[in-house]
Chain A
Amino acid sequence: MTKSFNPQSYEPGTHPDLPPPAITTGLIGWIKTNLFSSPLNTALTLISLWFLWQILPSSIHWLFTGAVWSAVDRKECWAMMDAPRDGACWAFIRGSLELFLYGWYPEPERWRVNLTFILFGAAVFGALRENIPGKKYWLMFAAVFPFLAAWLLFGGFGLEPVPTGKLGGILLTLVVAVTGISFSLPLGIALALGRRSRLPVLRAICVIFIEFIRGVPLITLLFVASTMLTYFLPPGSSFDLLMRVLIMVTLFAAAYIAEVVRGGLQGLSSGQYEAADALGLTYWQSHRLIILPQALKISIPGIVNTFIGSYKDSVLVLIIGMMDILGLGRARLNDPDWLGLAPELYIFISLFFFVSCFAMARYSLSLEKKLETGHQS
């Protein structure tokens, strides 16, 4: 053995390739370089491990192994555990799932909500998925969807009308969020173009609007919607509260979208504008064919972030008394059968938002990668 380590016994170039030292490869090597590379790193690893050890086992016990999945009320739930609150009482969430999903939507009409959910899935799929046959028609469907959904949910034109106050829970959250998202994009683009217009009056109006909306919290705008907006309307006309809230949420999101799109427009090199002018394209032609496709592409991460923000902001409607998923859940906490199960409720709602927002963020990342053309601005 010792002979093979003696360099003298080989002619130059004939030494056999030795495997890398075991300590730098495989699991051990990985652990050594990533967890214990220095005294500081070792200490950090040990602290993290201790921290995880403190949290994880008890959380897993509370969330899963010690949890109760079906019971009629909290007393029964706790009776099944070693000690009250030793585990989660998921029976509460399971029992309220239907309420959380549909709110007070009338029982016989719920197929309309289900159909809306299915169509919503189809619209999202069609709008986001690349390379599907008939992409143009999918996009047209996605653009028409909000109106179709409004007809399905609120009735009229042959369907039983359903008052907007019956909407609640996840349905209401989605209605607020999807409306905000789908109408704020065109409005936001228009505002961004207005802000960059060479016409001073148009520019001033857009700047004032955008800066005003971005300067105040959404709650104050919702208060305006719930208390003040009726004064702005012609006397005698009444305007549904949900409608007023939707308008405010849309305006709010549009101001933020406008700033994101403006960033995209500014990120474009002036050569693009000049080239479009040199080709003799009009303002609208150059924007439709050259400027906006590129500017929107740069702004995708910002736009999706704004969408995620306005989706998360939709829970604020509970402050003006609308029963979205959070409002309904909190009302449900006062039910004597389920009193004090706040942790279960908040974990469920957090998970609901986390899954949808995280999915959106991931989609945005993948889209960014796909649209990356290698050259910047």
Chain B
Amino acid sequence: MASSNAPSNVLSQLWRNKESRGVIIQIFTMVIVFGLLAVIARNVVINLEAVGKEFSFDFLFWPAGYDIGFSPFIEYTNKSTHFMSGVVGLLNTLLIAFWGCILATILGFVIGIMRLSSNWLVSRVSYVFVEFVRNVPVLIHILAIYAIVVTILPSTKQAISLGGDLFFLSNRGFYIPAPIFESGAGWVGIVLLISIGLVIAFKRRAKRIQDNTGRIYPVFWISLAILTVLPSLALVAMDTPISWDIPALKGFNFQGGMAVKPEFIALWLGLSYYTAAFIAEIVRAGILAVSHGQTEAAHALGVRPNRTLQLIIIPQALRIIVPPLCSQYLNLTKNSSLAIAIGYMDITATLGGISLMQTGKEMETMLIVMGIYLIISLLISSFMNWFNSRIKLTER
């Protein structure tokens, strides 16, 4: 009897002990998870064999055979490879994410501050805007703007002209003047970079002087002067190597200038104001979270109101605002994959859409697309962590 009882006793003892029970549970989980993965891998191999496909990334170097209407950075024709179409898609994703984040931040801060306005009408209007925008799916916003641009704006022949025939709005897109760089423009660019460097150096110096002596320089105005005067001097010196190519109606379409496609406009505006509604709430919460005592203390010390905002309120509010702001940027980037609904060629639409359909490489294309989004997410969140640790409250 005793011998038959012994193993179960050992088992129950192992189960009662916290450490060994942990080990048992973990081994058990690992067996289940790896078993599941093995079954999936086996199924994938069998299924792929059954339909006569093999798992390889060779297709990336096959000619893609489809056109991409919007490729502002690199040359792309339908003879290019799938790899190139993926690159074009990635660049388009980054382009929309970049401009979207900028517009969303500006709009979000403006609306968030309007929400806090002591003016009842202003704060109500922004409240209604925020509540309406963020309670409607972003896809509907994008589709609605796209429908407005395409169906309600006039055709190119009757395009709405803005700013004295410099800008044109039509259902084929938004036409803006494009800069033409002639020889010598590079020098202007170099001077611009140098003046940016000067501004940064000057800011550091001004901060050091202020820390040491308390003297405050008018940093903003001096920076503005450096940034405008030096490059314009360079412009004059190089005999204005930059000119503007202004769009003009020739026949049925516009010639010259730069065309911002309706797909880009719809996606950009839709993503931006949808995200701006969330950013506005973040900004509002961040500013409200800085206790009023801080303002009062600053005033008691004799700090002027705009300096109070600049030196006391904003730095403290930013500490609260930045982490959720970064996750909104991340959301915007991920939401940019909705481009596929209106035909803007981002990475999901090129590699994950058309390339997938044409090559039948579901596994490979989806792995690449998901991997790219994961990398972008990781980059943004590691930036967030770095920034967080930089501005973290150092308690003494």
Contact = CB atoms under 8 A, between A and B. Distances in A.
Contacts of A361: 135
Contacts of B40: 232
A219 B337 contact: yes
Interface in A192-232: 198-202, 205, 212, 214-220, 223-224, 227-228, 230-232
B122 A48 contact: yes
Contacts of B143: 326, 330, 346
A342 interface: yes
B378 A231 contact: no
A350 B140 contact: yes
Interface in B7-28: 22, 25-26
B25 A34 contact: no
A308 B135 contact: yes
Interface in A9-65: 34-35, 37, 41, 44-45, 48-49, 51-52
B341 A319 contact: yes
A232 B136 CA distance: 35
A316 interface: yes
A48 B139 contact: no
A205 B29 contact: yes
A119 interface: no
B155 interface: no
Contacts of B131: 358
A52 B125 contact: yes
Given A353-B137, A353-B140, A214 B377 contact: yes
Nearest to A48: B121
A228 B135 contact: no
Contacts of A340: 151
Main secondary structure of the interface of A (DSSP, over half): helix
Contacts of A318: 139, 341
A315 interface: yes
Given A227-B356, A342-B144, A220 B136 contact: no
Contacts of B356: 223, 227
Interface in B322-342: 334-335, 337-338, 340-341
A348 to B, nearest CB: 10
A227 B117 CA distance: 50
Nearest to B117: A44
A317 to B, nearest CB: 10
B374 A216 contact: yes
B106 interface: no
Given A201-B29, A205-B29, A220 B139 contact: no
B50 interface: yes
B33 interface: yes
Given A202-B25, A216-B373, A220-B366, A44 B48 contact: no
A312 interface: yes
A199 B374 contact: no
A353 B135 contact: yes
Contacts of A358: 131, 135
Chain A, interface size: which category? 35 or more
Contacts of B30: 201
A274 to B, nearest CB: 16
B352 interface: yes
Nearest to B375: A215
Contacts of A34: 118-121
Interface in A293-320: 308, 312-313, 315-316, 318-319
B26 A220 contact: no
B121 A49 contact: yes
Given A41-B118, A217-B335, A354-B132, A199 B137 contact: no
Contacts of A354: 132, 135-136
Interface of A: 34-35, 37, 41, 44-45, 48-49, 51-52, 198-202, 205, 212, 214-220, 223-224, 227-228, 230-235, 308, 312-313, 315-316, 318-319, 326, 330, 340, 342-343, 346, 349-350, 353-354, 357-358, 361
16 contacts: A35-B121, A51-B125, A200-B26, A216-B370, A224-B366, A227-B356, A235-B43, A312-B135, A318-B139, A319-B340, A326-B137, A340-B151, A342-B144, A346-B140, A357-B135, A357-B136
Given A44-B117, A45-B121, A326-B139, 8 more contacts: A48-B119, A48-B125, A200-B26, A205-B33, A216-B334, A235-B46, A312-B138, A315-B140
Interface of B: 22, 25-26, 29-30, 33, 40, 43-44, 46-48, 50, 117-122, 125, 131-132, 135-140, 143-144, 147-148, 151-152, 334-335, 337-338, 340-341, 348, 352, 356, 362-363, 366, 369-370, 373-374, 377-378
